[in-house]
Structures are given as C-alpha cells and as structure tokens.
Structure 1
Amino acid sequence: MSSLTDRHQHIITKLRKEGNVKVVDLCSELNVSSVTIRKDLKLLEDKHLLFRTHGGGTMSNPYTADKPVKEKEKIQSGEKSNIGEAAANLVEPNDCILIASGTTVLSLARNIYPKGSLTVITAALNVAMELIRHPEIEVIQLGGILRKSSSSVTGSYAEKILEDFSCSKLFLGVDGIDLEFGLTTTNMMEAQLNKKMIKASQKTIVLADSTKFGKRGFGRICGLEDIEQIITDSGISDHMVESLKGMGIEITIV
C-alpha cells in the first residue's frame, strides 16, 4: 500500500477509529519512511482533515483555550453532573479531601451530602460557597491570587499552605488529557498548584468529560503515571479507555 491515495485513506480510516495516529505506527503499517508520512499528514492538515501533533495527528484540535467559568458550565453540563454524582459516592465519612477548580469539580461539590464529618480543602471559591451550606463540612479555603476566569486561587501562598496537609483524595479537574503529554490546564500557575495538590494527596481522581481527551492546555500538571482514577462519560473512545487501562488507571464511565 504505497500510493498517495491509499496512504491517505488508511490514515483517515485509522483516525476515525482511534481518534489519533502516530508516525512510527504508520511507517510500519504502510512500509514507508517517516518523511513520507509527515508529508502525508501535512497534506491532510492543509485539507482540514486532521491536526498534526508531536509525532502524529489527531481528528480534533488538540489545543484548548481558556474560557470563563460561566461559559464552561454550559458545555457538557449533563455529563458533568453525572460525573460529579459518581465522584461524590467516593467521599467517605470523616474524610479529608482536596477539591481543585473547574466546572466538573463544582458538580462534585453540588452532589456531596456528607455522612458524618468531612473536611474539604479547596482552591475554588464557587466550590467553597456550595459546601458551606452543610454544617457537617469544614471548609478550608486556600488563599492567593484570584483567577477571575475560574473563580479560584493560585500562587505561592496557596502552594505553601498545602505543605501542612495530607488528604486521602484529590478531585482534580483538567483542560486536557493527552496520552503522551499527560494532564494539562490553560494556566501555568494553576498547573503548579495542582502539582502541589497531587503531592498532598494519597489518591488523585480526575474528573473530566469526554471532550477533554486528546487535548492539551498550556500548563502541564503531571504525567498519567501520577494519577489513579478517571471518571468520565460514555463519549470517550474505546481506544482511549484501553490505553489508559493499560497504564494501570481505573476508568469509571457514567
């Protein structure tokens, strides 16, 4: 299979099935050089049939932009609500948990009905406001520089406070999940705070709707080897699920 048309058809078919392709795999499958494959990917990108990435290509734009929290709340709202409800079931009596920022973890806060006491440390103002209505929940609000677009704090002060805590679970929202690049957000300072949260937690649970897979934000939080579980919706591809499970990550689909 060496003709230009056949190669392009093979690439598009593989993309539709798996969501992304790698140059090294295409070289092996089509028995051509990496130079040829990269030229093919460039031609297909010029025709708006794919987006080139480092070492391959993808069907959707891999780069995500920052959006105001009010705008984000309207995106995949039903899926986020279901994800939040599933995550809330993981909260145990007398737990001490960390909740990061984002609209999906806000759905978690809205679904928490504690049995017994609960301590929550959070960077997000909207999460704190949701939880203060429960007398059983002690809320510790991190301080620092307020990001207006996400209604959450960042900065060295918030990072320093986390050094004094050890929590059972971190519920983390992200802007992108990439098999090679890992977890990302659109803000560098938020990414740094999320790294500190991971260190302060025994288990990291990522809450992400299916549109976040195959995307990359500006700030890298961590590699996929640093998380234990992902809760998402049924829009995630079978290929992505199998790849993540192969890394030892527990996948919960709602």
Structure 2
Amino acid sequence: TVLIEGGSANALLARLLAERGDVTIITPSAYIAHLIRNTSANVILLGGVYQHHGESLVGPLTKLCIENINFSTAFLGVDGFHQDTGFTSRDMMRAEIASVILTKNRRNIVLTDSSKFGQIYPSTIGKTSNINILVTDTGISDDDLSFFKNNNVEVIF
C-alpha cells in the first residue's frame, strides 16, 4: 500500500505500479486515479476540495483522510528545491497536504527531475530530514548531493 501525492513523475510511477496489479494506491490526485482506473490495482482516492488546475484534492477533509489511513511508503512531488528552503511547492494547499503526509513518518520518497533544483517557491514541504529517499536524474549538483548525504537522505539516480 503506497500513497502517491501527485506530480507528473509520480503519475508515471503510479501507472507502472498499477500495471503490477498487486498494489493499493492511495492518492489525493484525481488525475492519478483517472490514469490508473482501468488497471487491476486497488485505488483509494482521498476526499477534499477539488482543485481544477492541479486535479488534486486538498483541505481539511484531505488532511483528515491522511491522518486516518495507513500506507508503507509515500511518494511526493515537488516544484523546487534549494538548500536554504528545502523542498517547495507553488501551491500552498498541496504543500500542506504533503507536510501532513510527512508527519506519518513512513518511508518518504521525493521523485523529481533535476530541473527543480535551485528553484524556490512560496510554500515549504516539511523538513528535508523527513525525506528518506530522493529519486532524480544525474543533473543535480555535487553541492546538493553533499547536502542530501549530510542530511541522511539517500539519493538514487
């Protein structure tokens, strides 16, 4: 059972996992739920306020759902990362949902491409120390790579 928060890279991951069929995918992303609707995977779409532009569910009901559901691993999408701010999001409501996911203290994985590094957006997504694994491409700087190693974040290319 995994929670997949949202984002384009996570949508691709959800599709791959759903094709296996032996997985339950929990998501606040209506886009992801729609994308994997014709697979044999179990899909749990969290409730909340629907955001048209991001096809995501957010708000107090979404937070309540996350607080009352169990999963082993969470995959989070991000819009930016800078050592001064940590992972950030363009959307304050989605950042709040990601932060609630992190408080569950499960295996937290950020899946993003290196173009997000050096970008700063208004809303911080939890603490870098709450992230266990970063999956990205080899375009990340040596300085950022050292930062993650110093903060006990495993980096997988």
What range describes the TM-score normalised by the shorter chain of this pair?
over 0.9
* TM-score normalised per structure 2: 0.93
> Structure 1 residue 114 and structure 2 residue 30: aligned?
no
Pick one of 100, 110, 114 that aligns with 1:206: 110
Please identify the structure whose Cα radius of gyration is greater: 1
- Going from structure 1 to structure 2, the CA distance change for 1:201 and 1:125 (only over 3 Å counts) comes to farther
Q: Which amino acid is 1:134 matched to?
A: T
Aligned residue pairs, count? 156
Q: Which amino acid is 1:110 matched to?
A: R
Which residue of structure 2 aligns with residue 132 of structure 1?
37
Find the residue that maps to 1:166 and give its secondary structure: coil
- Going from structure 1 to structure 2, the CA distance change for 1:201 and 1:141 (only over 3 Å counts) comes to farther
Aligned positions of 1:35-114 closer than 5 A = 96-112=1-17, 113-114=19-20
* TM-score normalised per structure 1: 0.59
> What do residues 76-134 of structure 1 show as CA deviations (whole Å, max 9, x unaligned)?
xxxxxxxxxxxxxxxxxxxx11000111111112222326x311110111111122222
Find the residue that maps to 1:167 and give its secondary structure: coil
| Sequence identity percentage | 31
- Cα RMSD (Å): 1.3
Structure 2 unmatched runs, 5+ = none
> More helix per residue: 1 or 2?
1
Q: Contact 2:48 / 2:61 at 8 angstroms: preserved in 1?
A: yes
Q: Which amino acid is 1:98 matched to?
A: L
Deviation at 1:145, TM superposition (A): 1.4
CA distance in 1: counterparts of 2:77 and 2:9, whole angstroms: 6
Deviation at 1:150, TM superposition (A): 1.2
